[in-house]
Amino acid sequence: MNIFDQAMEIEKEGEELYEKFSQEAPNQGMRYIFSWLADQERKHRDIFKKLKEGKPASVAESVPLQNIKEIFEDWRESATCIEADTSQADVYRRALDIEIKSISIYQKYAATAASPQKEIFLRIAAEEKGHKKIVENIIEFVTKPEVWAENAEFSNLGGDYYL
């Protein structure tokens, strides 16, 4: 399997997983986040498909997930916690593993690739790092809703915490 086939497989796995999460999400905010993540993985797969076919490809400036900070803050400020079984965190960790794997693989490919492929791998790896942060936030929220709902400090919620 060549590097583009492997990259497309990783992206396809992530896309399918996020689509499943979106369909099973306990609220609109999570559906929105998971749908956006699935769409991002689809775009990455399309880029790798073009590269495999020898067509010109580039990574467009990523459109940030709109309102993500507000979604997380709404969850935090909500008087009721999200109705999500904490065992869902184990399912979400699978997505986290895919993101970590993709970051590692794309950075490895970038180290040996020539331009412009090198830049594409690095840009997609950077986007995957943002996806990783989002999934980590969801896992943290699902596993510790009481802390999110009760902790007034939120000292780890810097400006780049969500993305």
Tens of pLDDT, residue by residue over 3-60, are 999 999 999 999 999 999 999 887 788 888 899 999 999 999 999 999 999 988 888 7
What's residue 84's pLDDT? 54
The answer to the question of residue 122 being in a domain is: yes
In the prediction, which pLDDT does 6 show? Answer: 93
Quick check: 131 and 99 in contact, CB under 8 A? yes
In a domain, 103, yes or no: yes
pLDDT of residue 80: 46
Q: What is the dihedral of CA 1, 98, 60, 122, to 10 degrees?
A: -70
Instruction: Say how many C-beta atoms besides its own lie within 10 A of residue 140's C-beta.
Output: 15
Give the CATH number of the domain where residue 37 resides: 1.20.1260.10
**Total domains, the chain:** 1
The pair of three-digit structure tokens given for residue 146, joined into one six-digit string:
């009481």
Domain annotation covers residue 43: yes
Residues written for the chain: 163
Alpha helices in 1-160 (DSSP H): 3-24, 28-52, 68-77, 88-112, 117-143, 145-150
pTM for this structure?
0.79
Tell me whether residue 22 is in a domain. Answer: yes
The C-alpha angle with vertex 119 and arms to 94 and 35, in degrees rounded to 5, equals: 35
Q: Which domain holds residue 80?
A: 3-56+67-150
Residue 163 has pLDDT above 80, yes or no: no
Q: What is the mean pLDDT of the chain?
A: 81
| 73, part of any domain | yes
Residue 29 resides in a domain: yes
Residue 23, pLDDT score: 93
pLDDT on residue 38 = 94
Residues ≥6 apart with Cβ < 8 Å to 39: none
Task: Give the rounded percent of residues in the chain with a pLDDT score beyond 90.
Answer: 46
pLDDT confidence of residue 9: 95
